[in-house]
Amino acid sequence: MYVEITDSGECLPDTKECILGVCANKAEWETFNFYPQSGMVGEIMKVTPKAYIIKIVDDLYVPISKKGIREISKEEYFSKKDNDIYHQMIEYHQRYNDFLQSILVLNMREQFKQDIIANIKILTWDFEISIYLPDLEKSCVIYATDMLLEYKQHLGPSLPTHVIAQVSEQVIDVYNQFFSNQFLQESASRCKEDIKELLNNTEARNIVDDYYHRLNIRYSFHKLKEL
């Protein structure tokens, strides 16, 4: 059965339905930078009590209520599917996804070093107090996440895994250079996992900003006491 989407507002982007191991929801669409639009056509692959699961193209499935679609003939389906605008959009999303996967992260270690030195200076009150391993690891996680959030701002919400890995590794390398006696492999492994977890947190930006805000307030208070 073939259908046309007549009202994209009837899409159900948060379902847990899957077709051939591919989820039919917004999280999966974002890997293609895709969102269903009225006028798109598809083939019904599954019917649930709440939705029709429509295949738009391979690996893109849209759950939508009956109110948001109309049945069309096979001829109309292929006619609309071959529409230039429709194909241009799908090809754009594919090119965009290919672009993301091809991104190479430059060696930013020297730039990271300058930032990290400035952060550690504030964290240790101008290097006057000691820094312990938990605080050291946290500063590493926060800084790496901050850099990755900057990448997401420019590249979109779905950062390729190799970008996340490269930025994390470079930041961790700098911490290992500066604190080789404390920052060992166990710390590096913990930080990698914590970076991934924080980056996936919907409040990541607020958590990072709050960390720096509290750090700066504490540092400013210390400087005032010296006057």
Considering 84, 100, 116, which residue would you say is the last residue of a domain? 100
- Residue 86's pLDDT band, with cuts at 50, 70 and 90, is low
Distances (CA, A) of 176 to 24, 122, 173, 189, 194: 42, 19, 5, 12, 16
> Rounded CA gap, 86 and 219, in Å?
56
Distances (CA, A) of 195 to 39, 70, 141, 171, 182: 40, 45, 5, 11, 19
- Residue 35's pLDDT band, with cuts at 50, 70 and 90, is confident
Residue 55 shares a structural domain with residue 113: no
Residue 113 shares a structural domain with residue 220: yes
Residue 86 shares a structural domain with residue 146: no
Residue 96 shares a structural domain with residue 180: no
**Segments forming the whole domain that contains residue 30:** 2-100
Residue 128 shares a structural domain with residue 178: yes
Residue 130 shares a structural domain with residue 94: no
Q: What is the mean pLDDT of the chain?
A: 88
User: What does the pLDDT read at residue 84?
Assistant: 46
Region 10-15: mean pLDDT is 90
Residue 65 shares a structural domain with residue 113: no
pLDDT at 94 over 50: yes
Residue 136 one-letter amino acid: L
pLDDT, tens digit (0-9, with 9 covering 90-100), for 100-123 = 666 677 899 999 999 999 999 999
The number of domains in the chain is: 2
pLDDT at 156 over 60: yes
Residue 109 shares a structural domain with residue 91: no
Residue 96 shares a structural domain with residue 110: no
Using CA atoms in the order 107, 113, 114, 115, what is the torsion angle rounded to 10 degrees?
Answer: 90
pLDDT at 88 over 60: no
More confident residue, 78 or 188: 188
Residue 16 shares a structural domain with residue 96: yes
Please, which residues have CB within 8 angstroms of residue 21's CB and are 6 or more apart in sequence?
none
CB 63 within 8 A of CB 24: yes
Region 41-61: mean pLDDT is 90
User: What does the pLDDT read at residue 60?
Assistant: 85
- Residue 21's pLDDT band, with cuts at 50, 70 and 90, is confident
